[in-house]
Structure 1
Amino acid sequence: MYKDFYTPSYEISPLTMAVIANPIKKGETYSYVLEEEMEYAIDNSPSRLMNDACKYLGSSLKGRQDGTREICGITHKAPISVDPSCGMYFFPTTSPANPKCSWIAHTHIDQINRIPDNSTEIIFHNGKKITLKVSYGSMLNQVQRTAQFRYLLDQRIKYLQKHAADLVAEPQP
């Protein structure tokens, strides 16, 4: 399913569709990154890659999770916005502390399907497919919670853009 293109480092981008956990030994996890046109093997866990992406844009994974909690009250398996201006919204498949946690880019999902043995197939807009050992109900819940978070954050951003001139502090005479 995955090509063996190894790179020692990777930066999450708008082309990233999924960052999939692949435990190799106890305590060690590496990631398969699925992009629109390429696939990579990375020597870091998915949550580490997500944290690095958040830090690159001036926050951290925990900071993004805290922001999600403030915006819509989601506390567990919180979706995050790595960069809302580029539509980079991701959700975890389990607790991000779990080495089996993968991250899926909400923007790239076309559909999800129930698969026997408590798994879910994700079909992306470009036709690529992955199957994860996550229940369909849990995956559907994560997709819906991410959509709710995206909507609420987008509304805040639109409000701020609309009222930007009014919100700028002007010096008092």
Structure 2
Amino acid sequence: WHHNPGHLPVTEVSVDPCLTRVLRPHQRTGLVFLYECVVGMRLEGHFGAILADEMGLGKTLQCIALVWMLLKQGPYGSRAVLNRVLVVTPSSLVANWSKEFQRWLGRERLTTFVVDQKSKPKEFANLPHVRVMLISYEMFVRYHGDVRDIQFDLLICDEGHRLKNTNIRAATVGNLLWSLDGK
């Protein structure tokens, strides 16, 4: 999805009405920014973004809106951009991410898979209808081999500043996933 080899027509994408009705103006702006960065429209050849809004401004909702939009559509011929998404977050926020996905999209639209003591990444790999995996940094380190074996199209790191310390194992594991397209 990084480019348009089939020369498909560029099409507009839209945010699901279930989300547009709750997005505040600054979140809409943030969502456009994220979208343009992730699909490489902001800077040619670069795919990714850092969303560094202050706490409480709705970064999680913006990310959920981006994920839902790109699981359903994309800029080239309206084809979906994403198939599988990995969200890595502090352990204290895993349940919150799960609740937020359910709150904004409901289980009928999107089911998430939470890696914990009972549910492992290998199980997620065998569930093609489940498209989003939520994992704590600690579980990410523990199961890095299994996570690396799964093809993810988008990596979201909540509290991503945890990865700036190159001495921590999570940063090392993060480097293993730096290139999500297998390069």
Rg (Cα) greater in structure? 1
Q: What TM-score comes out, normalization by structure 2 length?
A: 0.29
Q: What TM-score comes out, normalization by structure 1 length?
A: 0.30
Return the structure number with greater relative CO, CA threshold 8 A, min gap 6: 2
